[in-house]
Amino acid sequence: MVIGNNKLTAKMEHSTQLLFQGYSQTDAYKLVYHAEARQRLGTLYPNPSLLVANSNVRVRLAHIRAAVVAPALLDAIQRQEFWSDIICDDSKDTRDRRRDSGFLGKA
């Protein structure tokens, strides 16, 4: 089964998801491809490296990471803009909000 335009098989996609979740290359490969525990190490260890070296897998992994990081960056930028607006505004209402936000931070 081929998924999307990246030409990843279902097993490659699953491996990519496991790598994103923090599994090691070898553990992800063993889980997806059902590698035997008694398989020779010389046969087992090159396969996960070859899988991760695949350009389609690398692109998909980068795409997944970008999808997770982008909203976090946007939230950080929004918080920075909010606090910048409060600090730069000298109205009485803003000073009250600054004081109140200090109390909220201590709660």
Summarised one tens digit per residue, pLDDT across range 47-65 is: 888 888 888 889 999 998 8
Summarised one tens digit per residue, pLDDT across range 74-106 is: 777 777 887 777 777 766 665 666 666 665 555
pLDDT value of residue 1: 44
Assign 3-state DSSP to the chain and report helix, strand, coil percentages, each to 5.
75, 5, 20
Res. 28: pLDDT tops 70: yes
- Give CA separation, 89 vs 78, 97, 105, in Å: 17, 11, 20
Output the pTM of the full model: 0.55
Quickly state the pLDDT bin for 18 (edges 50, 70, 90): very high
